[in-house]
A and B are shown apart, each in its own frame.
Chain A
Amino acid sequence: MSTNMNRRDFIKVAGMGAGSLAFATPLFDFSKGEILAPDTVPGMYAKRTPTYCEICFWKCAGWVHTNDEGKIWKLTGHEDDPHSNGRLCPRGTGGVGMYNDEDRLKTPLIRTEVGGVQTFREASWDEAFTYIADGLKKVGEEHGPECTALFSHGSGGKYFGDLLKAFGSNNITAPSYAQCRGPREVGFFATYGEGVGSPERVDIRDTRCLVLIGSHFGENMHNGPVQEIAQATAKGASIITVDPRFSTVASKSKFWLPIKPATDMALLLAWMHVIINEGLYDKDYVEKYAYGFDDLKAHVATMTPEWAYGLTTIKPEIIRETAREMANASPRVIIHPGRHVTWYGDDTQRLRAVAMLNALLGSWGRRGGYYNPEKVKFKNYPHPPFPKPTRTWRDAFPGKYKLAGLSLASGICDATIPTIERDCSFKAWIVNGTNLIHTLPNQANTIKAIQALDLMVVVDTMPMEITGYADVILPECTYLERYDNIRVSPHREPTLALRMPAAEPKYNTKPAWWMAKGIAEKMGLGHFFPWNDIEEKLDWELKQVGSSLEEMKRLGVKKMDRSYDDLYPMENLEDFEFNTNTGKIELYSTAMEDEGYDPLPKYKAHEEPPEGYYRLIYGRAPMHTFSRTANNPNLTDLMDENSVWVNPKVAKEWDLKNDQYLWLENQDGVVSKTPIKVRVTERIRFDSVYIVHGFGHTNKKLTRAHGRGASDADLITRVHIDPEMGGTGMRGNFVTFRFEAGEEVSS
């Protein structure tokens, strides 16, 4: 147990083989996939098995094709799936690489000490479960079960969540909220009484004008919007892209507004000024549904395009022209809410402004704007009621982040570091499918929190950096080798999708449901998992909604009918009561006011890069998802390192050449752990640099990813916290160039 060890040394996880530890009996019957006629490769008989993708969180449904030897051959999209429309993105198509990756975690590992050196030893599942059960129970007895937390960014997290709830903790968190989309949910909720959700309820397919603020679809390969943008533009829709970088989608846009970073709020306010003052707003819609229009009008009265020009560097006539472009398309216009929106710390307010601009143009609840999604009303397999925890993570932050709708990954991390005034501190973490070292900002802080734990369990498929800090590592099989919960997602029409194993788990790996149930049984909590196996659970749940496991194995995706014909509930100004204090769309937010926040969004000047420094902007590449795909053989083959985008003027000043390697150093003197290649390009402003997130891995056991490119997470040491909901604004970091490595960092 780690209590014998004062400090958690990072251990590079070896890919230990463990054939001898494998269970003798297979967990699944693999003969139940659909047998097809001879498929596309001559002489090859193939079977196809339904799945939904785990490489990103769009969760496209598809088919896993296996050959006659049972080897997984390829993945294709499911024709009936509204997420993929039969076509996966490169990551989904390349998902087979996750299965084939020989660097995968292969057997349970437990931290031990040999001759004063910490290392991992191979363990049996039974031993690992006993270790975890004892560790959790000890934390429960000494500090209370509320001092345990789950960080999850994977489907299997659902089962570990149930384990923690059964134990008595509700501290279940995902970095997708406070590090990503949280501010948008809060901003839209404050305005419409509903969030945006995932998949986003944007009706891009039928829009006439799409406004993207920092969203870089095409590089962000969320499949639905990328497909629908292509459809909409083919039908003549225009795109307005606001981005300091000439992104792929900027190149497809009618207008590219290369905004000075951190000034988006000024542009949004000026757009509202033009739309109100030129009378371009949807008057009937605003009159019927909106609350606080006169307050907003007064609020933006002085926020002219000329005012915004001085802040954004976008010319007044362009601000006016783009505002009119949106108004001409109204109500079939979308000012897109984005997804990763934790930028500057006033993100909830910026997303409020986005929500309000949509309201002025009457796009919410309208065709070509925002549709009303529906999902299947799904009932989970019955279990005894979970105990009610007496404390939650919120107790660690009295009076703060009052509008946070979900728990904060960064908040739980911060609250784990002991302080005198904090009585809710965390002693055990389960980390499922999220590499917190790269995911959370401020790595030093994350590592400090980990050092304060009595127990850390990491569940992953790959030896990501986070595994090096674990006490116990549980190797999960990939999504192609396991069942998970039924995908029940909101969309234009409700659908169900099944993920089932297409092959037996490689090595000694297991699915999360099996692990969570096994640990629960060790802890005397087995009655919270009252099913014998996952097939029994899924079949019961599916039968409640008129399907069955057998049917879903055949169909993969089942489309259901909508309960009501209300896809566009405000299309013809129908009566509607919004879930807000006033029952209206709140341009003036009474909820914000009640909690002591600004009821109308204000422009706030953000810090600018010091002389010789450039704002660090990060984003995505179409073939990778965060850091999780960086070792995937198929996807790494497409892109195996990132580069730092530098404007030619900057390159000239620093005498930088294409493909030259250098290090980045931030405003706090932190240097990237690994060097990065220079890409000199006109496609970026001269006050910013850009890198793709997810590279710069330091664990040598990720043989393809190790040392390739640099990590933005290394350099995000300054975080601006969103006061409304605790989001971590990460775009306030500045870097300069350095031509030699920083001091050796032990990782």
Chain B
Amino acid sequence: MRYAMAVDTLRCVGCSDCVVACQTENDVPIGHCRDWIVEKTTGTYPELQLEIRSERCNHCANAPCVRTCPTEASHYAEGGIVLVEESECIGCKACITSCPYDARFIHPEGYVDKCTFCIHRVEKGQNPACVSVCPTHAMIFGDLDDPNSDISRAMATRKWKSLIPEAGTDPKVFYLI
């Protein structure tokens, strides 16, 4: 079981529905977010390209946050989902510094918070909240070990990239381009 997510940049319109759905689903405090939108314009008028991405924790298989965490609060859960055990977290921010994707923040209650791939939903066979609301169906979640999963098929048939591959983190969020 290797959970992963693919974000289709050709479908994504950057509406932020994923952001607000995550916020309400997981009661993320106003002013913080576990996922966010990046828009990148290239070219010169009128020859332009725009890439829009919904970004979040990459649930890296070689996660610097897990390596640097002194209390093992940051850990791998089932399917490679990277989680933070709130009660173990001392708020030292080592993980925040080590994350090349800037995916973590300090929750007002003092612990480090970030995307969980909505593991509480995934365990029940549901998609993460962001995937389930996306109006353009721009996100696919699933198991890379299952060759028939939607995500495996999308990765096999589409061009894709991951972010900052040179960091060697082996990220599990992919961008279809």
Contact = CB atoms under 8 A, between A and B. Distances in A.
A22 to B, nearest CB: 27
Interface stretch (A83-91, A183-191, A429-437): A83-91
A258 B25 CA distance: 40
B133 A87 contact: yes
B66 interface: no
A246 B24 contact: no
Nearest to B18: A90
B120 interface: yes
Interface in B141-169: none
Interface in A61-77: 73-77
B15 interface: yes
Contact of B135 (A96, A223, A248, A635): A223
A630 B138 CA distance: 26
Contacts of B138: 230
A643 interface: no
A252 B19 CA distance: 22
Nearest to A41: B120
Interface string A616-654: 000000110000000001110111000000011000000
Given A218-B14, A248-B50, A622-B13, A634 B133 contact: no
A85 to B, nearest CB: 8
A681 B46 contact: no
Contacts of B24: 73-75, 93-94, 96, 634
Nearest to B138: A230
A251 B53 CA distance: 13
A681 B50 CA distance: 12
A632 to B, nearest CB: 10
Interface stretch (B37-45, B88-96, B107-115): B37-45
A638 B43 contact: no
Contacts of B44: 682
Contact of A76 (B120, B133, B137): B133
Contact of B48 (A90, A234, A251): A251
Interface string A230-273: 10011000000000001011011000101000000000000000
B13 A218 contact: yes
Contacts of A400: none
Given A73-B24, A633-B30, A622 B45 contact: no
Given A77-B133, A227-B136, A230-B136, A637 B120 contact: no
Contacts of B126: 40
Interface in B27-65: 30-31, 33, 41, 43-46, 48-50, 52
A682 B41 contact: yes
B32 to A, nearest CB: 9
A635 B48 contact: no
A399 interface: no
A683 interface: yes
Contact of A90 (B16, B31, B124): B16
A638 B50 contact: no
A702 B137 CA distance: 34
Contacts of B48: 246, 251, 256, 682-683
A115 interface: no
Nearest to B37: A638
Contacts of A227: 135-137
B121 A248 contact: no
A73 B46 CA distance: 45
A93 B20 contact: yes
A40 B121 contact: yes
Interface string A205-232: 0000000000001110101001101100
Given A89-B135, A96-B24, A223-B135, A230 B17 contact: no
B30 to A, nearest CB: 5
B23 interface: yes
A623 B15 contact: yes
Contacts of B52: 248, 251
A106 interface: no
A685 interface: yes
Interface string A116-137: 0000000000000000000000
A524 interface: no
B41 A622 contact: no
A385 interface: no
B69 interface: no
A683 B15 contact: no
Contacts of A249: 13
Contacts of A279: none
B155 to A, nearest CB: 17
Nearest to A684: B45
Contacts of A648: 45
Interface in B1-20: 10-11, 13-17, 19-20
Given A87-B134, A90-B17, A251 B45 contact: no
Contact of A622 (B11, B14, B30, B121): B14
A42 interface: yes
Contacts of B41: 246, 681-683
Given A42-B120, A87-B133, A637 B50 contact: no
Nearest to A92: B17
Nearest to B14: A248
Contacts of A633: 30
5 contacts: A40-B126, A87-B132, A219-B13, A226-B13, A634-B24
Given A94-B20, A683-B41, 10 more contacts: A90-B21, A218-B13, A218-B15, A219-B13, A246-B45, A248-B50, A634-B24, A637-B31, A638-B16, A686-B45
Q: Top 8 closest A-B pairs, CB basis?
A: A218-B13, A251-B50, A230-B136, A622-B15, A74-B24, A90-B17, A94-B20, A682-B45
